[in-house]
């Protein structure tokens, strides 16, 4: 059974910290290497393991690092609404727009005007929210579903992004500090955000005060990678001043 196989792989990772596909094949002789590779990709998306050449290494479990999506959906709703309302005016007709996964992006999707747009997203719920807009073309990137973030990520997602063009990328971190940059708790989500930032002509980052000095395991960007920062921090805040010094356009709400 899939569950028992995944648990066996997890047990080996917990015990040895790093395992090779040869070791996994010896321990699970009835399982193909291709299946084991898919298992490791699934564990990478969950934030449990990181793929390395020839195998995988243990990271740890996501719930210790990042709150579940359903919990975050209920938190700071008014704050998210203020942030996303400031973003709508930046979206022009005919653009290719990336909407990140997460609760802030779901709030943006709810108020996105019905105009000609090509939207790329890593959030299945974001795609469903936009499905009733006939003028919007929706591209949901492929990948493995992470239920904690309601996002898709992994190698398939990265390959999909390579085939798409992105004018504007709207991204939301799980945490931020000046020393650690913009961070998330999941390695696969981190890699998707990095790929999007590399592709996009303009990167718009949301940053709420509740995410300050909250450093999660994986950094995907720093202030210098951002073109526009939308934040509820006051204009005199150190982070805002630092962003402006780096040439970032700052929108305070």
Structure confidence at residue 79 (pLDDT): 79
Separation between Cα atoms, residue 115 and residue 117, nearest integer Å: 6
Same domain, 224 and 102: yes
3-state secondary structure of 49: strand
pTM score, whole prediction: 0.74
Which residues span the domain enclosing 35?
2-60
Same domain, 213 and 158: yes
Same domain, 21 and 129: no
Separation between Cα atoms, residue 27 and residue 131, nearest integer Å: 45
The 10 Å Cβ neighbour count of residue 90 is 16
The 10 Å Cβ neighbour count of residue 58 is 18
Same domain, 32 and 85: no
Separation between Cα atoms, residue 18 and residue 56, nearest integer Å: 6
What is the average pLDDT across 8-34? 90
Same domain, 52 and 151: no
Structure confidence at residue 148 (pLDDT): 75
Separation between Cα atoms, residue 227 and residue 221, nearest integer Å: 12
Q: Which residue has the tokens 């990137």?
A: 141
Same domain, 96 and 177: yes
224: which DSSP letter? Answer: G
Separation between Cα atoms, residue 94 and residue 101, nearest integer Å: 22
Residue 171 pLDDT more than 90? yes
Separation between Cα atoms, residue 136 and residue 183, nearest integer Å: 30
Residue 163 CA, distance from chain mean position: 18
Contact assessment for residue 138 and residue 131, using Cβ atoms and an 8 Å cutoff: yes
Structure confidence at residue 3 (pLDDT): 64
Same domain, 87 and 200: yes
What is the average pLDDT across 84-109? 94
Same domain, 31 and 98: no
Same domain, 54 and 102: no
Give the tens place of pLDDT for each residue, 34-87: 999 988 888 876 677 888 888 888 875 444 444 555 555 456 567 788 899 999
Structure confidence at residue 71 (pLDDT): 55
- When the pLDDT of each residue in the chain is averaged and rounded to a whole number, the result is 88
């Amino acid at each position: 059974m899939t569950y028992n196989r995944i648990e066996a792989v997890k047990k080996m990772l917990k015990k040895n910290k790093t395992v090779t596909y040869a070791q996994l094949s010896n321990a699970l002789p009835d399982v193909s290497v291709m299946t084991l590779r898919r298992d490791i990709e699934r564990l990478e998306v969950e934030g449990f393991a990181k793929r390395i050449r020839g195998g995988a290494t243990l990271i740890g479990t996501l719930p210790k690092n990042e709150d579940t999506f359903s919990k975050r959906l209920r938190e700071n709703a008014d704050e998210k609404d203020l942030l996303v309302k400031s973003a709508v005016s930046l979206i022009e007709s005919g653009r290719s727009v990336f909407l990140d996964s997460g609760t802030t992006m779901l709030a943006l999707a709810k108020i996105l005007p019905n105009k000609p747009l090509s939207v790329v997203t890593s959030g299945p719920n974001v795609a469903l929210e936009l499905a009733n807009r006939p003028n919007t073309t929706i591209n949901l990137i492929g990948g493995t579903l992470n239920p904690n973030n309601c996002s898709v990520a992994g190698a398939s997602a990265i390959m999909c992004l390579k085939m798409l063009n992105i004018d504007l990328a709207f991204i939301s971190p799980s945490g931020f500090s000046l020393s650690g940059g913009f961070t998330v708790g999941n390695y696969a989500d981190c890699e998707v955000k990095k790929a999007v930032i590399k592709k996009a002509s303009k990167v718009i980052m949301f940053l709420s005060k509740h995410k300050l000095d909250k450093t999660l395991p994986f950094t995907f960007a720093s202030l210098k990678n951002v073109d526009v920062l939308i934040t509820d921090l006051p204009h005199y805040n150190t982070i805002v001043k630092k962003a402006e010094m780096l040439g970032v356009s700052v929108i305070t709400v």
